């Protein structure tokens, strides 16, 4: 029997439609199997698609499963914000100030920073990052993202539920001109046991301004327009470089090279030489809705 399932289409990390990162949210997936959810995510072919289920915990608003076109993942940034946005919009009466989602990495709280008719700004409280080894082969990493070896300044593995290779390069122009070499990138991912490569440059000021790109060919996400989970990992990475200040903020632009400009805000809180909390904020807008037939 064919099922007709409805979904919401939102753009995340933008205050205008047709920018940021696309997300399809299925609020009532019924009894879909994992294979069916994967099939739907592959058909829609956004970076991620989410499916909302009831949670058995009284303190959790919903259980959320996240799928890329290639596989299910335990956590991701823009799917958390986008799914929270859909849940908030669907609640009747007074809107909640916080939504808590159950993910495979544990509960994630999402706060409403502001809300208007066309846009809602949300803040997620991410898992505290953990730090792995530094880049093991600079030449290989440089080739993987199409930059010169001397433009690569450093980097290492950071995990916050997902494992990323954070790679810093000399300046914004290097980031803009970078180009994914899928074969080399897959070798880097296998060597470092990561899901993707987060390339960035920075300019210091009152806020640290970041220009970034994210490549994850093994997930069938060859480039991502906005990567909230990796942005949080970057905050933890820079906290070590800055020698763990009490608090700092990042303003991150991503997705320009794809024609989908995105803006992500990261706040990092430190104490006694350790990262204590990471918050990632961004706006979400509705773009539309649709249905899909599932055999």
Tokens matching residue 142: 């440089």
Q: Which residue has the higher pLDDT, 207 or 179?
A: 179
Q: How many residues does the chain have?
A: 295
DSSP for 206-246, please give it: SSEEEEEEEEEGGGTEEEES--HHHHHHHHHHHHHHTT--S
Decide: pTM greater than 0.85: yes
- Percent of the chain's residues with pLDDT above 90: 91
Shared domain check, 166 and 108: no
Shared domain check, 258 and 162: yes
Tokens matching residue 35: 């294979």
Shared domain check, 210 and 288: no
Q: Point out the catalytic residue in the list 8, 43, 48, 173.
A: 48
Task: Summarize pLDDT for 42-65 with one digit per residue, the tens.
Answer: 999 999 999 999 999 989 999 999
The span from the CA of 118 to the CA of 21, in Å, is 16
pLDDT score at 258: 97
DSSP code at position 18: T
Shared domain check, 252 and 191: yes
**Paired sense of beta strands 3-12 and 274-294, if any:** antiparallel
**CATH number of the domain where residue 250 is located:** 3.10.310.10
Shared domain check, 17 and 115: yes
pLDDT at 72 over 80: yes
pLDDT score at 119: 85
Shared domain check, 112 and 134: no
Compute, in degrees rounded to 10, the torsion defined by CA atoms 40, 45, 47, 49. -20
Shared domain check, 27 and 111: yes
- Find, among 79, 58, 98, the residue nearest to 9 by Cα: 79
Shared domain check, 211 and 170: yes
Shared domain check, 251 and 155: yes
Shared domain check, 174 and 103: no
Task: Summarize pLDDT for 234-291 with one digit per residue, the tens.
Answer: 999 999 999 989 999 999 999 999 999 999 999 999 999 999 999 999 999 999 999 9
Task: Examine the residue annotation and report whether 48 is marked as an active-site residue of this protein.
Answer: yes
pLDDT score at 235: 97
The span from the CA of 66 to the CA of 104, in Å, is 9
Average pLDDT, the chain: 96
39 lies in which domain range? 3-122+284-294
- What total number of domains does the chain contain? 2
Tokens matching residue 279: 């918050």
Q: With DSSP H G I counted as helix, E B as strand and the rest as coil, what are the percentages for the chain, rounded to 5?
A: 25, 45, 30
Shared domain check, 207 and 195: yes
pLDDT at 165 over 80: yes
Contact of 256 with 152, CB cutoff 8 Å: no
Shared domain check, 137 and 205: yes
């Amino acid at each position: 029997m064919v099922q007709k399932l409805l979904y919401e289409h939102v753009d995340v990390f933008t205050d205008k439609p047709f920018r940021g990162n696309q997300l399809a949210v299925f609020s009532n997936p019924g009894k879909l199997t994992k294979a069916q959810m994967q099939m739907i995510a592959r058909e829609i072919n956004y970076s991620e698609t989410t499916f909302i289920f009831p949670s058995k915990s009284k303190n959790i608003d919903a259980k959320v499963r996240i799928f890329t076109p290639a596989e299910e993942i335990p956590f991701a940034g823009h799917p958390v914000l986008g799914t929270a946005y859909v849940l908030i919009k669907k609640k009747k009466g007074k809107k909640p100030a916080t939504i808590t989602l159950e993910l495979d990495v544990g509960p994630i709280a999402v706060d409403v920073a502001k809300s208007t008719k066309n846009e809602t700004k949300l803040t997620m409280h991410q898992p505290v990052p953990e730090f792995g080894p530094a880049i093991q082969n600079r030449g290989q990493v440089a080739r993987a993202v199409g930059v010169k070896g001397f433009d690569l300044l450093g980097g290492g593995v950071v995990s916050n539920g997902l494992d990323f290779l954070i790679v810093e390069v000399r300046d914004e122009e290097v980031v803009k001109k970078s180009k994914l070499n899928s074969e080399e990138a897959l070798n880097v991912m296998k060597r470092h046991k990561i899901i993707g490569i987060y390339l960035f440059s920075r300019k210091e000021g009152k806020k640290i301004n970041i220009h970034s790109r994210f490549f994850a060919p093994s997930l069938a996400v060859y480039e991502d327009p906005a990567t909230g989970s990796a942005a949080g990992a970057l905050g933890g990475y820079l906290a070590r470089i800055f020698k763990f200040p009490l608090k700092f903020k990042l303003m991150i632009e991503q997705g320009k090279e794809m024609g989908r400009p995105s803006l992500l805000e990261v706040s990092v809180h430190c104490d006694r030489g350790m990262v204590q909390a990471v918050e990632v904020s961004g706006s979400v807008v509705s773009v539309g809705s649709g249905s899909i037939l599932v055999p």
